[in-house]
Amino acid sequence: MTKKDDAVKQDLNYEGKDKAYLDIDRIINEGLSGGSVHMREDTTNIEEARDLVKEEPPHQIEE
């Protein structure tokens, strides 16, 4: 296996969500305005960029 393969397998554990809350983009796009981002004069209906909030990784469960 290559280093790249190892990195991909490691990322599959949490799909990268152990480092950042990535669903915020989906929540905003699908929840507000149905995913349409547009600008009228000086206002937009959805901000075009968001800061990602640092959070704890998912908790381990015992099976």
Asked if the structure places residue 23 within a domain, the reply is yes
Asked if the structure places residue 5 within a domain, the reply is no
What percent of the chain has pLDDT above 90? 0
Asked if the structure places residue 60 within a domain, the reply is no
Asked if the structure places residue 57 within a domain, the reply is no
Asked if the structure places residue 9 within a domain, the reply is no
Residue 20 is which amino acid?
A
Asked if the structure places residue 46 within a domain, the reply is yes
Among the listed residues 19, 24, 48, the one whose alpha carbon sits nearest the alpha carbon of residue 36: 48
Residue of higher predicted confidence among 20 and 39: 39
What percent of the chain has pLDDT above 70? 38
Asked if the structure places residue 12 within a domain, the reply is no
pTM of the full structure:
0.22
Q: What is the pLDDT of residues 13-32, one digit of tens each?
A: 666 666 666 667 667 666 66
Q: What total number of domains does the chain contain?
A: 1
Asked if the structure places residue 62 within a domain, the reply is no
Half-sphere exposure at residue 62, Cβ-oriented, CA atoms within 13 angstroms = 0
Structural domain harbouring 44: 17-51
Q: How confident is the model at residue 63 (pLDDT cuts 50, 70, 90)?
A: confident
